[in-house]
Amino acid sequence: MPSLSSIARRLSDQTFGTAFERTIRQAARHPRPAFLFFWNRGLGDIALGLVPLFLRIHQVAPGARIVVVTREELRSAFGISGADEVHVLPGLKREDRTDMRHACAKLGIDLQRFAAVFGYPDPNRWLEGHRSEHPPRLPWNADWDALAPALPAGSGIVVGAHVNSETARYYGYRKDWPEQEWQQLFSRFGPDSGVRWVLLGFTATHVFEGANITDLRGATEFPALMSLLRNRLRILLAPDSGILSMVYYIDAPFALDVISLWADPRQGVLHQGVPSPNPLLRHYPLVAPGEDIRALRVEIVEAALRNCLAAANNS
């Protein structure tokens, strides 16, 4: 049940507008509006939350300039977000808070140039009830096409398996499908199946067995990973994660079937509720019974993968 404070905030937002709406409307009267965002949370929320906010700013204040301060690992992702400038704060770790005056002084950013500063943006609150009004679109960076890592020679359909996500560490429930379930799935699509597996993930803590498996966990930076998804893979199996959200909203045509594995369907691209701008992306979400990812049976994932493989072979 929602708390009294959350109910009061919702009523205030509905009556007077969110703090974001009030701020950008006031800032839009500035002769040269510029907006500063500090972001040190998840990758996926760049697409899910910040890009719609940026689009809303440009709707209210055409020609506005958007500047972002973030951590190093998010620099390239913000490069396709619509931000005009991206500054990296050295030594910043995920979820670290910072004083914006101190951070901007360190980076040589003049705070006086900004009509509004968002030191801790709250996209979930600010977009409540309005998520479909500004669908995320991430332009493809053509320079990334040359960055896709080479895969071992061989025939077959290349299937990516995102076996562990960074965001799983920041939630109160399990987001990653268990390792033993992944291993069973890999065993059902061995070297003679026509499948070539590529493992994606935050870190390679568990060794999976299979002669047709290439393990790229923890070894591929964001631009190369996006290039891999666009130029090498035909099918992706992934939990609700930053990688899933970012590739889903790439605004470029490339054939990719995405089988997503969900504990909580009120998150991520399912919660966003808008289609991918990629007309060739097909999405097959699988929601675990009881919202417990451990209850998602291998047979269900296997059946979805076989359907995608059949469609890919026919096309």
Strand partners, 7: none
Tell me: do 132 and 149 sit in the same domain: no
Check pLDDT > 60 for residue 8.
Answer: no
Structural domain containing residue 96: 12-136
* Domains: count for the chain: 2
Which pLDDT does position 90 carry in this prediction?
94
pLDDT in tens, 37-64: 999 999 999 999 999 999 999 999 999 9
Tell me: do 155 and 70 sit in the same domain: no
Q: What is the rounded CA–CA span in Å between residue 211 and residue 190? A: 7
Tell me: do 147 and 51 sit in the same domain: no
Among candidate residues 251, 276, 170, 169, the one with its CA nearest the CA of residue 285: 276
CA 59: distance to chain centroid?
A: 23
Rounded to two decimals, what is the model's pTM?
0.91
Check pLDDT > 90 for residue 188.
Answer: yes
Residue 64 lies in a domain: yes
CATH number for the domain including 21?
3.40.1380
Judged on CB neighbours under 10 Å (0-12, 13-18, 19+), 189 is: buried
Average predicted confidence (pLDDT) for the chain: 92
Q: Give the CA count within 13 Å in the CB-facing half-sphere of 10.
A: 9
Tell me: do 149 and 45 sit in the same domain: no
pLDDT in tens, 223-235: 999 999 999 999 9
